[in-house]
A and B are shown apart, each in its own frame.
Chain A
């Protein structure tokens, strides 16, 4: 008697969650289509000549037959709307096409290059959270001076442009002190500087937001009651204050992941790292349509998935939201 009732209660609870995911997936698909369309027309309407760009650079001497063959192979002899429909059709079948500048399947290029970019982005988000949490826990409401120092450091960090920070870190710690290799080639030491270049400004930003809600949380009655139960300051801050204060930071993280992938382009260029950013930069400059759209779609997809994940994380961290939705 009680069991079926319990299950139906569970289903009732899960249903809105499923509906949320479905809605998000559907709108995500629309975002992907829009991004492929915008990229296609933006690139195609830019004046340019992708064929010669691919056929060996400015000192190339292709015969008319070679050029004609390349134009036909890349489908550039078809009318623009036909090219668009063909391309979207291929995308819908899951075929990203062949990169004509890399002589490789687009999916193969992405498979090779996405690892370093995700690894960099992921470690930057993790380090940013670590730094911002430490800063907030250590300095917020710890007396006027300490609090002011923490707050000022966060503001400064948030204001740093990531590519500038990358150059400074490179000049000081790689070129000058030689503590780290100048080229970030995949080893742990090589990851440190690019990760910091991305993470420090983000950490400043996250900490500013978290600090504000953290201080609000510390004023709440439940903190007072926790203290009255005899909990130590560290436990109060960590278990009660931070959990309450993390929400705005978490929702910012979805935005942060999107912007980190964008900034990863710069950091990959500065540190000569492999990754999607460098691929995208090169693909755009030779108007390699399939590769440009492929990489754009992947970046969009990461963004869509990240914001979905954050919505779900929100529910985990704040049980009140679960209740509200049922």
Chain B
């Protein structure tokens, strides 16, 4: 009930925001600026993290916060290449199972503790410990065996099997390095007041209201991807929680806050024209937003029906109408900013109702009932789509559009609106034909998580499966596992190209749009940038002029 009301309220507020954006005048052009020290930047986010330690659970809001107060072992540049950060350099054994990291010796955490090899060990052990309940960071280093510390500044990490994506995932804020003594206090205390070595430190968290950071005055170990060295420019960073999109946007447009995240789609056009505001928009790497087609039951156990469904969905048309022409459709199984992503497979996902009709006829769905839906052996061609309440009104409208175009080729698409935990339950039991999902990560190894048989759900894990398509293909499994055994770039590229080809030609997902980070920035804030591993905002280089 309350979710229904919130949804209605949200829609109404979105309309009002649209009106308000139209009424707002345009401001003056901005002068070029040099960084100014001091001041407070107010950042407003839509979702509050449930824990400030990014190792625990592991949802996107946590990594946004973690990026401000932690450093990572390695950095990743905009081309996806791995560089130094807390580790100066490293060597990898020939069998790909032993990583020897040589660490910086001048780094301290904001509680005064020294960063050293023991800290690396404590962090990796913490992530892999089931008591931490780490599902994202822990999921990414399931291959982890142990860390040895031969001397103060050398950490030797042993893996159970070769894992060429290891350095890539280490560059994500989800695996940010925290002070060992802080981790030792226990999960719930560390959630509230974590300690890192980053440019800011967490000083206060008023739940449902704000998180306050202060500058780390001793900071002098910024990654090579940063725009400056030394302490951050800002004195303070206030991270406000404003879930309601129109309120968040109005707070930005009125200058009450300096930066907002998740700028509402209906406000983007107006914001782009508003001289007081700039937009900072970047896709996130990984598997784009999509609906996974369940190959484990009819009708999508038939590849012809899967292709017909993909071909009958006019994605760009739906995106244009729902997102006011601001979103482009996904280029393939990997979003364009993912290392080794290929644009070659977008044509597989083109809207082609003629081909869809032909395929359905071939597959025996040649008759239609009174409503125009196709039937076979007295059964209607029905597609049950799970829509979780967390997916938001825009994605729901997008599916209503897809429903309409798919109906023209004879699919009866049933949209089933569910609360989050019910959605998870249906998903765990494979009770769906299509289910919305996405996966943000900075490595092409995401294909293994989303499509390999390894992730169909292990015994005793309550039916959880990251591979929501049910796809089980030995040739594909071999390709993605082979790609983990080599660190040679050319070989990895070739293998991931094969992997993308197999996925695209099996029609496993209806791809919609790449996940993206969409910031609105008021004229008072400068130097805000998005880091490349997950397109997370970095406020280290930012300054304010008020």
A binding-site residues for B, Cβ under 8 Å: 46-71, 98, 101-104, 109, 112-113, 163-164, 167, 170-171, 174-176, 178, 181-183, 185-186, 265-266, 269-272, 274-275, 278-281, 284-287
Contact = CB atoms under 8 A, between A and B. Distances in A.
A48 B130 contact: no
Contacts of B243: 269, 272, 278
A278 B425 CA distance: 24
A101 B460 contact: no
B57 interface: yes
A58 B449 contact: no
Given A55-B135, A113-B208, A269-B9, A61 B16 contact: no
Interface stretch (B185-193, B377-385, B404-412, B496-504): B185-193
A270 B244 contact: yes
B207 A112 contact: yes
Interface residues of B, number: 77
Given A113-B208, A270-B13, A279-B208, 13 more contacts: A49-B422, A52-B424, A58-B388, A59-B60, A62-B464, A63-B142, A101-B50, A103-B50, A103-B191, A104-B192, A176-B23, A183-B256, A266-B6
Interface in B179-197: 187-188, 191-192
A54 B188 CA distance: 14
Given A69-B130, A176-B23, A269 B419 contact: no
Interface in B43-72: 44, 50-51, 56-60
Contacts of A60: 57-59, 135-136, 139
B134 A66 contact: yes
Contacts of A174: 247, 250, 254
A10 to B, nearest CB: 48
B460 A272 contact: no
Contact of B208 (A58, A163, A265, A275): A275
A103 B187 contact: yes
B135 A182 contact: no
B440 interface: yes
Contacts of B242: 183, 272
Nearest to A276: B208
A47 B16 contact: no
B466 A52 contact: no
Given A61-B449, A63-B142, A182 B250 contact: yes
A281 B419 CA distance: 11
B207 A113 contact: yes
A54 B420 CA distance: 10
A182 B251 contact: yes
B140 interface: yes
A109 B240 CA distance: 18
B248 interface: yes
A284 B19 CA distance: 33
B421 interface: yes
Contact of B13 (A61, A70, A167, A286): A167
B425 A178 contact: no
24 contacts: A50-B421, A54-B50, A54-B133, A57-B57, A59-B59, A59-B437, A59-B439, A60-B135, A61-B466, A66-B132, A113-B207, A167-B13, A171-B20, A174-B247, A175-B16, A175-B246, A183-B242, A186-B209, A270-B244, A270-B247, A272-B243, A278-B243, A285-B389, A285-B421
A279 B134 CA distance: 23
Given A48-B424, A55-B57, A274-B206, A68 B130 contact: yes
B135 A56 contact: yes
Given A64-B461, A103-B187, A186-B209, A69 B133 contact: yes
Q: Which of A67, A103, A270, A278 has the most chain B CB within a 10 Å cutoff? A: A103
Closest A-B pairs by Cβ, 7 of them: A61-B139, A48-B421, A274-B208, A175-B20, A62-B135, A60-B135, A64-B461
B142 to A, nearest CB: 6
A110 to B, nearest CB: 11
B131 interface: yes
A279 B208 CA distance: 8
Contacts of B138: 61-63, 66
Nearest to A178: B254
Contacts of B388: 58
B299 interface: no
Given A182-B251, A285-B420, A67 B188 contact: no
Interface string B5-17: 1100100110011
A296 to B, nearest CB: 12
B80 interface: no
Interface in B402-436: 419-422, 424-426, 428
Contact of B130 (A66, A182, A281): A66
A175 B250 contact: yes
B93 interface: no
Contacts of B136: 56, 59-61
B13 A272 contact: no
B444 to A, nearest CB: 16
Interface string B354-398: 000000000000000000000000000000000011100000000
Q: Which of A46, A274, A275 has the most chain B CB within a 10 Å cutoff? A: A274
Contacts of B51: 103
A164 B449 CA distance: 45
B208 A278 contact: yes
A67 B17 CA distance: 41
B458 interface: yes
B333 to A, nearest CB: 15
Nearest to A67: B461
A93 B277 CA distance: 54
Contacts of B251: 181-183
